[in-house]
Structure 1
Amino acid sequence: MSPGSATITVSAVEVTELTQEEQSDRLHLERKVERAVFEAGKALMELRDRRLYRSTHRTFEEYCRDRFGYSRRQPYLLMDAAIVFDNLLEKCDPMDHILPTSERQVRPMTKLEPQEQQEVWLRAVEQAGGKVPTGRIVKDVVRRIMERTQVPNTYQIGEVCQILAKDNPELRGKGGCWGIVSAVNDFSCTVRIWDGEYTIGLQHLKSFNYLPQECQ
């Protein structure tokens, strides 16, 4: 054999197709992996809402830190992500559509309306070439939609306005309530109502257009 030549033996590997049962098992297990982090978020919501931590801990944050090693913010990120995931799952057939697999992929969408979340996700999947998009891609799509829908915030502190719940589950039971603006942000206002203060998007507020003395 000459020094410049060599013989390489390559073993052929037979790739067997999955049976129909194996294909079904694969899809089932993939769905479990996809939903794992979001199932955690839903479990945390139930633990918090039912106060199932109260026998050992004074606050939900202390419980999450001691039991799961979470930072103060982490359980809330997971709970917000679970709400977005459920919204996407409601509108997307999981057998035909790509779904999120991590909290970071949906984090940029948590402040959007349900229909905007769906639009963002479908655009992000398309931008990722039909694969699960990164959080960076999702954030970029959200930024472009926010720029497209940006409207000037003309509310003033002390202004009286009405809450429009529409299809926002976080405002359930508060539609039609009136409140007083206590802080003005870029895309929202903090409004003081009968049971506390809430930060509410401009699309969920309607001014009564009272004169200053009427507001007083």
Structure 2
Amino acid sequence: MPKIKSKSCADGSADTYEARLVAAQSLRKGDRVRHQRTGEQGSFQEINLGFALPEVWVHFDSDREISKTLSCNPLELEIIGSKVEQQPTALPDTCHKEALAEVSPNVVLTRVEEASAIIESPCRRAHADVLEELSDSEERERYRLEFKVDRGIAQAWLALKELRDRRLYRSTHKTFEEYAKERFGYNRAHAYRLIEAAQVLENLSPIWRQDVLQDEMSPIGRQKFPNSERLCRELAKLPPNSQPIAWEKVLETSSDKAPTAKLVRGIVEQLQEKPLLQAKDFCACGDVFTLVKLEGSMRKYNGCWAIASGINDFTITVEVHETTLTVKPENLQPIDEPDARRQLPQTLKRIRRLRNVGLLDRGAYNVLEDLGWQTYLTDIEEKLLSCLEEHYKVNSEETP
């Protein structure tokens, strides 16, 4: 269904998840409301939790026989007539149980009260010097609200991912990028970083599901899932099946303190480290390879063939068509074709002879560059190379 677009609250109030939720819960089904921006009047129907921030469905009056139903910001509605006999608004039956906890804070508060009967507040344990003592009720309220903040952030990421995956923006926008920018103020890079964070949370299942989907709080009050996109960005550097292992190590290391991006990065790097492979056990001089997984300035040589020319302790010196590189064994993918292994050393010598002539025509450079990526020469490529040797008076049989 369509919705009324909103950029900010008409009365200047803070447009937050909590503010919207309180405004939505104050409405009763059938209440007559007026939209403060458009002036349209209609009847409130129910709360809409299909977006990152709560909205409400309203049947707006229309000159046509059928009224129009729109989803809009509850902070932009004012009540002009109320049906007092109705009960406070309940969430639709289709809402997920974690959404029910958002609408009914007492649900979470009850669990906090139960937990506080057997544990001490994590905030009180973490700081020996208390600046100002909180009452028991204030301590429970702080704990409850902190938990809701963490859980709300995660739910927002997942909601954004679902909006993208199910293309629920298509009724008003042609692209997800345009929708994210206009609806939430997210540029493309930020929107996709949040979606990547949502994917990390899904990969952390069942750790994440135990605390968020099931509305459960950690029995020791400890943060049980990443609450910032920066933490998820570090975890995303690992394969999906390694991310839960890394996060468990993060929790063990951080104890009751909030994990930092530096801590997560260090643990991720530890898991990424592999036992060093002795280069001499990997290959011998003259072996031919395809270069892979190169980074930084050498990335441009990924896919290029190379010939081993020097064996170090843990690295290998290789020759490519235009230069010499030092790489690790994991950057070398062996070429097993007998014809390629026989022909490539000779091809490298011929290319190097031509490059040593001096300044070449740009067409010659283009040909030599292309040959540096071909593991064997076709008849035409052989003729082109021979033509260049003839033009620059280079004998293909000479010693380089």
The answer (yes or no) to whether the contact 1:47–1:53 under 8 Å persists in 2 is yes
Matches within 5 A, 1:22-41: 23=140, 28-41=144-157
Instruction: Name the structure, 1 or 2, with higher relative contact order (CA <8 Å, separation 6+).
Output: 1
Match of 2:271 among 137, 141, 145: 145
1:131 aligns with 2:257: yes
Structure 2 vs 1, CA of residues 144 and 57 (structure 1 numbering), >3 Å: closer, same or farther? Answer: same
1:45 aligns with 2:161: yes
Match of 1:70 in 2: 186
Matches within 5 A, 1:81-160: 81-91=197-207, 93-94=210-211, 95-96=218-219, 97-98=222-223, 99-148=225-274, 156=290
Counterpart code for 2:136: E
CA distance in 1, matches of 2:275, 2:245: 13
- What TM-score results when the alignment is normalised by the length of structure 2? 0.32
The answer (yes or no) to whether the contact 1:120–1:142 under 8 Å persists in 2 is yes
Structure 2 vs 1, CA of residues 131 and 103 (structure 1 numbering), >3 Å: closer, same or farther? Answer: same
Helix, strand or coil: the match of 2:206?
A: helix
CA distance in 1, matches of 2:336, 2:207: 40
Counterpart code for 2:236: T
TM superposition shift of 1:101: 1.4
The answer (yes or no) to whether the contact 2:197–2:229 under 8 Å persists in 1 is yes
Matches within 5 A, 1:135-214: 135-148=261-274, 156=290, 184-186=292-294, 211=337
Helix, strand or coil: the match of 2:256?
A: coil
The answer (yes or no) to whether the contact 2:161–2:198 under 8 Å persists in 1 is no
Deviations 1:174-213 (A, max 9, x none): xxxxxxxxxx4359xx9xxxxxxxxxxxxxxxx9x98589
TM superposition shift of 1:89: 4.7
| Equivalences, count | 157
Q: Which has the larger radius of gyration?
A: 2
Counterpart code for 1:138: V
Match of 1:181 in 2: none
Helix, strand or coil: the match of 1:73?
A: helix
CA distance in 1, matches of 2:294, 2:271: 15
The answer (yes or no) to whether the contact 1:37–1:78 under 8 Å persists in 2 is no
Helix, strand or coil: the match of 1:130?
A: coil
The answer (yes or no) to whether the contact 1:45–1:79 under 8 Å persists in 2 is yes
Unmatched 5+ residue regions in structure 2? 1-131, 212-217, 280-287, 296-301, 303-332, 340-400
CA distance in 2, matches of 1:130, 1:15: 20
Structure 2 vs 1, CA of residues 136 and 14 (structure 1 numbering), >3 Å: closer, same or farther? Answer: closer
Helix, strand or coil: the match of 1:133?
A: coil
TM superposition shift of 1:26: 5.8
Counterpart code for 2:263: I
CA distance in 1, matches of 2:238, 2:188: 23
What is the aligned-residue identity percentage?
39
CA distance in 2, matches of 1:145, 1:186: 19
